[in-house]
């Protein structure tokens, strides 16, 4: 059956070939840090300087990477797909945005956004959030010097969950790309899709914890698998 409504979930694996390291490399660390030392609210309370610097470096590193063929293929799919489509990314990089995807939700926040711990405002942010010679940067809404990375840390509620749940409930094909299936709630989306009666497809470098839950799994690098799959689904609707 030709699908009409698509939900696509992406993880760190889709950006790996652009040169953005994945979460749990072979050494079990993320850019040399234990995840719990940089990606929890407790870590930020304990050592705000370390955590701000960690995300400042990640934000600055975005200037040195470009979207790859997989990001571009998903942007083409978004532009040409005649039915409903939602791209849900766990990634905090801006590579889907730069490739041109429009129907896109960042469920774990964005490096290029700052969140005010005072008034709750989120605002586009390009530079560093750690202290400069002029002191800590101020919120553009309330003026408080309490900005933090707009990243959903472990123990915090992911963004856009209502919209994501509604899209999954209405989809007939769910595709998971470059994600380990280890971080919830995203790892549970395949179950929601199955409950909704959708077909499910995994595209990942190697078998993941979630592989047995998918109707079909293809293994290989995202820059090869994703453009091939996009060409296939667009051909099925005559594009």
Q: Which residues are catalytic?
A: 108
Q: Which is nearer to ligand NAD, 163 or 182 (CB)?
A: 182
Instruction: Determine which residue in the list 34, 46, 102, 141 makes contact with Zn ion, applying CB under 5 A.
Output: 141
Report yes or no: 85 and 61 within 8 Å, Cβ to Cβ. Answer: no
Q: Which is nearer to Zn ion, 115 or 177 (CB)?
A: 115
Instruction: Determine which residue in the list 48, 118, 137, 188 makes contact with Zn ion, applying CB under 5 A.
Output: 118
109-116 vs 104-106, strand pairing mode: unpaired
User: Where in 142-181 is the site for Zn ion (CB under 5 A)?
Assistant: 142, 144
Note the residues at the interface with ligand NAD (CB under 6 A): 11-13, 15-17, 20, 22-24, 90-93, 108, 178-180, 182-183, 204-206, 208, 221-222
From ligand NAD, Zn ion, none, interface partner of 46 (C-beta below 5 to 8 A by class): none
Closest approach, Cβ 137 to Zn ion, in A, equals 11
How far apart CA 203 and CA 200 sit, in angstroms, is: 10
Closest approach, Cβ 22 to ligand NAD, in A, equals 3
Q: Which is nearer to Zn ion, 21 or 118 (CB)?
A: 118
| DSSP 3-state percent helix, strand, coil across the chain (nearest 5) | 35, 20, 45
H-helix segments, the chain = 13-16, 35-38, 41-46, 48-61, 69-80, 95-99, 161-169, 189-195, 222-236
How far apart CA 178 and CA 226 sit, in angstroms, is: 10
Q: Which is nearer to ligand NAD, 54 or 81 (CB)?
A: 54
Dihedral of CA atoms 15, 16, 18, 19 in degrees, nearest 10, equals 130
Does 117 contact Zn ion by CB under 5 A? no
Main-chain phi, psi angles of 77, to 5 degrees:
-60, -45
Number of residues that bind Zn ion (CB under 5 A): 8
Q: Which is nearer to Zn ion, 122 or 231 (CB)?
A: 122
Q: How far is CA 141 from the centre of its chain?
A: 27
Matching residue, tokens 């969950």: 161
From ligand NAD, Zn ion, none, interface partner of 139 (C-beta below 5 to 8 A by class): Zn ion
How far apart CA 74 and CA 80 sit, in angstroms, is: 10
User: Where in 77-116 is the site for Zn ion (CB under 5 A)?
Assistant: 116
From Zn ion, ligand NAD, none, interface partner of 122 (C-beta below 5 to 8 A by class): none
Chain residues that interact with Zn ion, rule: CB under 5 A: 116, 118-119, 121, 139, 141-142, 144
């Amino acid at each position: 059956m030709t699908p009409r409504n698509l939900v696509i979930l992406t993880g760190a694996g889709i950006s790996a070939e652009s040169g953005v390291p994945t979460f749990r490399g072979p050494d079990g660390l993320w850019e040399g840090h234990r995840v719990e030392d940089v990606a929890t609210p407790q870590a930020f309370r304990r050592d705000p300087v370390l955590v701000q610097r960690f995300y400042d470096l990640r934000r600055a590193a975005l200037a040195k990477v470009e979207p790859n063929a997989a990001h571009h293929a998903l942007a083409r799919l978004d532009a040409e797909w005649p039915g409903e489509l939602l791209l849900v990314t766990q990634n905090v990089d801006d590579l889907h945005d730069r490739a041109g995807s429009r129907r896109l939700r960042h469920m774990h926040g964005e490096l290029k956004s700052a969140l005010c711990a005072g008034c709750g405002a989120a605002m586009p942010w390009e530079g560093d959030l750690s202290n400069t010679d002029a002191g800590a940067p101020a919120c553009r809404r309330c003026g408080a010097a309490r900005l933090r990375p707009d990243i959903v840390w472990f123990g915090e509620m992911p963004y856009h969950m209502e919209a994501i749940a509604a899209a999954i409930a209405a989809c007939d094909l769910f595709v998971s790309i470059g994600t380990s299936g280890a971080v919830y709630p995203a790892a549970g989306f395949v179950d929601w899709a199955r409950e909704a009666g959708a077909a499910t497809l995994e595209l990942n470098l190697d078998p993941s914890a979630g592989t047995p839950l998918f109707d079909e799994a293809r293994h290989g690098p995202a820059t090869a698998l994703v453009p091939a799959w996009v060409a296939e689904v667009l051909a099925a609707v005559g594009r």
